[in-house]
Homo-oligomer: A and B are copies of this chain.
């Protein structure tokens, strides 16, 4: 678990680990990929969650209370500097290959001495009626 936390060399690597942890409900890995600091998380429809402990508590709640999630995700955009990376990702939440929900996430990563870590995840649900009009 801590090996992932300490040795991620790119924002892309953190993102892969994040979605793996999300899909496999792995609370230890999820806790290991966030920076310990004033990180930010917004789950779809949720209030702002600030700080490592609150963010990890929110993820533990989600991961404990959900079935193993099937998520198909696609990186739509990356804005990168030496120390920050902002990725915009479309997430499709699936059940037996049927799309239950589409979420757009802004994921922010920061480079620290020990490597890259997640510092923000902001997810919002796409209104599926609008999606039907515009994304199909």
Q: Which residues of A are at the interface with B, using a C-beta cutoff of 8 A?
A: 38, 40, 42, 44-48, 50, 76-77, 79-84, 86, 88, 90, 104, 106, 108, 110, 119-120, 122-127, 130-131, 134-135
Contacts and interface: CB of A to CB of B under 8 A. Distances in A.
Given A48-B88, A135-B47, A122 B104 contact: yes
Given A48-B126, A79-B108, A86-B86, 8 more contacts: A45-B124, A46-B126, A47-B135, A48-B88, A82-B82, A84-B84, A88-B122, A106-B120
Q: Is the interface of A mostly helix, strand, loop or mixed?
A: strand
25 contacts: A42-B124, A45-B124, A45-B125, A45-B126, A45-B127, A46-B126, A46-B127, A47-B126, A47-B127, A47-B130, A47-B134, A47-B135, A48-B76, A48-B90, A50-B76, A77-B120, A79-B119, A79-B120, A80-B84, A81-B81, A84-B84, A84-B86, A86-B86, A86-B120, A104-B122
